[in-house]
Structure formats: C-alpha cells, structure tokens
C-alpha cells in the first residue's frame, strides 16, 4: 500500500522546512480561518486555544484533500495571563519586545492531524523562554538588522537567527519553539505508516 498523502495546512516556511528537513514528503495548502474571531471568543487556556486553532486549520483543509493526513499547527505566546499576537509592524515589534524583555514567557505549540474532517491525533508542548533585560540601543540595533521579517512572528524573533541573542535561558524543545512539536508528530506519522524512511 502507498503511504497516505500528507498536507501541511500552513504557509509557514519554518514548519514546511522542519518537515522537509526531517524527510517528510508533503504539500502545503494554507488554511483560511478566522483566527481573530476564535481568539476573541476563547475562554479557555492558552494551550486549549493553540489546539483549537491547529484543529480548525487542519479540518478546513482536510475537506479539500480526501483521504490525506492534514497537519494543522499553531503557536501561542503567553506572558503571564496575556496572549500576544504577531506584531504586524516594526513599531509593534519594538513595543512587544519591550514588554517581553526581562521576563519569562511561554510558547505553546500544538499540532493536529485530521483526515476527512475527523481529528486522528492532537498534541501540544510548551517551552519557557527568559529574555535578557537588554537596552533600547540593543533593541533598535536588533530591529535594524532583522527588519520587517520578524513582524510575522509572535514575539518578534526567530530563535534560529539573530533572535537567539535576545535570550538568557530557554527551557523546552527546540522544535516547539520553532512552532511545531516535530518529534511527537514524526512518531504519530510513523505509527500511521505515512513515513517512507
């Protein structure tokens, strides 16, 4: 039997790179869901929200790919009781980094695998990241170097790049920080016979 088709319900270059580098053959079909509405109406935990968003992304895309294993993933940044969104502009990124510096925040990454509108598996993990209490001079130099690219990432950093210099300590899985708990996902896909390696 041929392994099932794998579809990533995302346009995230970080997530598709993770899958590609791990040898997972897949295609990408970004989900179009109203994340803002889901977040505004959410009354549960940040972990539950990440799982809900991951599931909804995978569910919507599964309707377009019958018989495929559709992977949805989402990441939530929680600072104490506040959930932060992607900054969207360099100015908002600077404000978000001022809010995060000198504090520990939590990144929660969730993944959901759906086939034909039915969730087969879900998983979430978290990492705790402590930012240095860096100066405004460092902050402006950092943003000058990374540019608008970080405005599409919650927390305004890419840990695999210059963003690593923002931190004094990180507790948790590297892939979870990048946006998807990859090892757990690979274990599930292997169990389903979806990996050829």
Q: What is the pLDDT of residue 2?
A: 77
CB 4 within 8 A of CB 192: yes
Dihedrals phi, psi of 41, to nearest 5 degrees: -95, 0
Domains in the chain: boundaries: 6-191
Q: Predicted confidence band at 81 (pLDDT cuts at 50, 70, 90)?
A: confident
- Within its chain, how far is the Cα of 94 from the centroid? 21
CA dihedral 80, 84, 87, 91 (to 10 degrees): -40
Q: Round the average pLDDT of the chain to a whole number and report it.
A: 94
Residues 117-173 have pLDDT tens digits of 999 999 999 999 999 999 999 999 999 999 998 898 889 998 888 999 999 999 999
Q: What is the pLDDT of residue 197?
A: 72
Q: Residue 3 above 90 pLDDT?
A: no
What amino acid positions are annotated as catalytic residues?
74
Q: Which residue has the higher pLDDT, 197 or 27?
A: 27
> According to the CATH classification, is domain 6-191 in 3.30.70.580?
no
Strands 118-131, 167-171: pairing kind: antiparallel
Residues 29-79 have pLDDT tens digits of 999 899 889 998 998 999 999 999 999 999 999 999 999 999 999 999 999
Q: Residue 104 above 80 pLDDT?
A: yes
Q: What is the pLDDT of residue 160?
A: 84
- What mean pLDDT do residues 86-101 have? 95
Q: What is the pLDDT of residue 76?
A: 95
CB neighbour class for 152 (10 Å; exposed up to 12, middle 13-18, buried from 19):
middle
């Amino acid at each position: 039997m041929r392994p099932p088709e794998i579809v990533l319900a995302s346009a995230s270059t970080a997530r598709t790179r993770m899958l590609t580098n791990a040898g997972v053959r897949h295609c990408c079909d970004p989900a179009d869901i109203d994340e803002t509405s889901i977040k505004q109406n959410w009354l549960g935990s940040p972990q539950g929200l990440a799982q809900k968003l991951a599931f909804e992304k995978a569910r919507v895309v599964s309707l377009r790919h019958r018989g495929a294993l559709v992977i949805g993933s989402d990441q939530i940044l929680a600072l104490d009781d506040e959930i932060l969104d992607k900054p969207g502009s360099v100015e908002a990124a600077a404000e978000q980094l001022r809010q995060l510096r000198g504090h520990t925040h939590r990144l929660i990454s969730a993944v959901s695998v759906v086939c034909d509108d039915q969730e087969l598996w879900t998983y979430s993990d978290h990492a705790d990241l402590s930012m240095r209490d860096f100066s405004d001079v460092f902050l402006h130099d950092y943003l000058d170097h990374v540019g608008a690219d970080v405005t599409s990432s919650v927390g305004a950093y890419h840990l695999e790049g210059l963003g690593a210099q923002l931190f004094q300590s990180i507790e948790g899985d590297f892939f979870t920080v990048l946006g998807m708990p990859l090892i757990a996902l690979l274990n599930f896909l292997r169990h389903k016979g979806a990996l050829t390696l």
